[in-house]
Amino acid sequence: MSVQDTDIPAARPVDWRDPRILARIRRRHARDGWLKAAGLVALLIAFALLAILVGSLVYRGHSAFTQTMVTLQVHVDPKKVKPERLRRGKYDDMVEAALLSHFPEVRSRADRRKLTKILSKGARLALRDRVTADPALIGQTVTISVPVSDPFDQLNKGLIGRSTPEERRIVDDRAIAWFDRLAEKGLISRPFNTALFLEADSRFPELAGLAGAIRGSAYALLVCFLISFPVGIAAAIYLEEFAPRNRFVDIVEVNINNLAAVPSVVFGLLALAVFLGWFGLPRSAPLVGGMTLALMTLPTIIIATRAAVKAVPPSIREAALGIGASETQVVFSHVLPLAMPGILTGTIIGLAQALGETAPLLLIGMNAFITEPPGGVLDPATALPTQIYIWADSPERGFVSRTAAAICVLLLFLVTMNALAVILRRRFERRW
């Protein structure tokens, strides 16, 4: 400002062409390059690992999305099923007779029994359901596709090698010959495995499905959302907008952050002791599962909500207060709507975490063997991750591919939820 002021020393001249300065610039640029390269490499590694994970899952699991079926002409014998007792007919006899009719040369009792092993235990159920739905079929011949048992399913999918020595194979050469004969006649087909999505768990891999687990997970997540969303938002709003600054509130805040880091198995033990032990709620119920998951999701939602509420510019609060809005009006007509994208993102990420959570559900018994999809939140059920756990633990060959398929389904749900989070956020941001 003051030009005449002689106290200020003159600026020292800098030679920008000095080789040392130029070298320094080059080094700085080189460092930029290294940083970018390192980031790119890290990203590539992450992508490669993800590709390996998904690739191996799809490779192992894809065969479970189809199921080998055999098409039979079954005569519904009026002697074996009575219209008044439709569900108790001797359907296995009828289905087996239909299969045996293709092999008139097989006579001995032992051979016939061995031959009928081609059929799944679920074959009679398929016929039973068909006849129960339409009793007029009694006395007629119906064409029906029934699943084959797991070893033959594996054989058909090429997962049991024909070149393996016979003694190390679960199906011997004769059984393979029988199966091939059926295939030659064009009776073997491999349609999409609808049972995987329509049926619940089963001891037989060819009959086991995810319907029970999907519905159990849906119920548990619904309960989890209904509890953790309102409670989480209420807690966060109170802490952020209304809570006095004192030691008690500080302790609460620190502990909420700690809760987010507590291992999930601890929440499972807590739920076991409190919900099952004290409250006497039913074991394996999605209600209890959802409540347990809500305990885990709450800190996530509270932390996300607080961050979103904090990010609402104070000028908006001042504007509303300046016109005479009450604190409640400020929160509900300004702060919450502006914070909603952040809150929803946090909530969906929390729910996605809950969907994949296994340990607490194991402790409250959601890893039970349950063959019926739950009809409500109090019925025993499994969840997707616990179903994966059960199947991964099963010895039958068929469960290997089904485990991978179940993981694919779970990942699909997770991707869908995260995409939903992005869509919701975009939508709300456009509105505001």
Partner 1 sequence: MTMLQPDEAETETEAPTAELKMTARDVDVFYGTNHAIKSISVDIPDKTVTAFIGPSGCGKTTFLRCLNRMNDTIRNCRVTGEIRLDGEDIYGRDIDPVQLRARVGMVFQKPNPFPKSIYDNVAYGPRIHGLAGTRAELDEIVERALTRAALWQEVRDRLDAPGTGLSGGQQQRLCIARAIATAPEVLLMDEPCSALDLIATAQIEELIDELRESYSVVIVTHSMQQAARVSQKTAFFHLGVLVEYGETSRMFTNPSDQRTQDYITGRFG
SS3 string, 239-284, reads HHHHCCCCHHHHHHHHHHHHHCCCCHHHHHHHHHHHHHHHCCCCCC
d(CA 340, CA 34): 39
Q: Which of 172, 180, 318, 393 binds partner 1 (CB under 8 A)?
A: 318
Residue 319 binding partner 1, by CB under 8 A: yes
Residue 339 binding partner 1, by CB under 8 A: no
Backbone angles phi, psi at 367, to 5 degrees: -105, 25
Please choose, out of 67-75, 96-104, 323-331, 394-402, the segment that lies near partner 1 by the rule CB under 8 A: 323-331
Our CB check for partner 1 shows the closer of 2 and 163 to be 2
Please choose, out of 91-99, 216-224, 248-256, 309-317, the segment that lies near partner 1 by the rule CB under 8 A: 309-317
CB of 222 to partner 1, least distance (A): 32
Backbone angles phi, psi at 73, to 5 degrees: -95, 105
d(CA 259, CA 232): 13
Please choose, out of 23-31, 62-70, 179-187, 321-329, the segment that lies near partner 1 by the rule CB under 8 A: 321-329
- State whether residue 161 is helix, strand or coil: coil
CB of 432 to partner 1, least distance (A): 5
Interface with partner 1: number of residues (CB under 8 A): 19
Residue 323 binding partner 1, by CB under 8 A: yes
Q: Minimal CA–CA distance to 303: which of 256, 351, 262?
A: 256
DSSP code at position 368 = S
Q: Which of 71, 116, 202, 329 binds partner 1 (CB under 8 A)?
A: 329
Backbone angles phi, psi at 375, to 5 degrees: -90, -15
Our CB check for partner 1 shows the closer of 313 and 376 to be 313
CB of 337 to partner 1, least distance (A): 8
- Spatial CB neighbours of 338, under 8 Å, sequence gap ≥ 6: 312, 316, 432
Sequence-ordered strand ranges (E) for 49-187:
69-75, 141-147
d(CA 384, CA 352): 12
- 8 Å CB contact between 112 and 100: yes
Residue 246 binding partner 1, by CB under 8 A: no
Q: Quick one: which H or E segment has residue 98?
A: helix 91-100
Our CB check for partner 1 shows the closer of 337 and 356 to be 337
Q: Which of 51, 254, 262, 316 binds partner 1 (CB under 8 A)?
A: 316
Residue 1 binding partner 1, by CB under 8 A: no
- Spatial CB neighbours of 350, under 8 Å, sequence gap ≥ 6: 228, 297, 300, 301, 304
Residues 145-174 that bind partner 1 (CB under 8 A): none
Residue 315 binding partner 1, by CB under 8 A: yes
CB of 324 to partner 1, least distance (A): 4
**Lookup: tokens for 43:** 């990203």
CB of 427 to partner 1, least distance (A): 15
User: Which string of x and - marks every residue 204-223 that binds partner 1 (by CB under 8 A)?
Assistant: --------------------
Residue 322 binding partner 1, by CB under 8 A: yes
d(CA 240, CA 229): 16
CB of 334 to partner 1, least distance (A): 7
For residue 354, how far is the Cα from the chain centroid? Answer: 10
- 8 Å CB contact between 160 and 397: yes
Q: Which of 245, 246, 248, 261 binds partner 1 (CB under 8 A)?
A: 245
Q: Which of 288, 334, 355, 402 binds partner 1 (CB under 8 A)?
A: 334
Residue 250 binding partner 1, by CB under 8 A: no
Residue appearing with tokens 């009575």: 82
Please choose, out of 6-14, 286-294, 329-337, 350-358, the segment that lies near partner 1 by the rule CB under 8 A: 329-337
Interface residue list for partner 1 (CB under 8 A) = 245, 313, 315-326, 329, 333-334, 338, 432
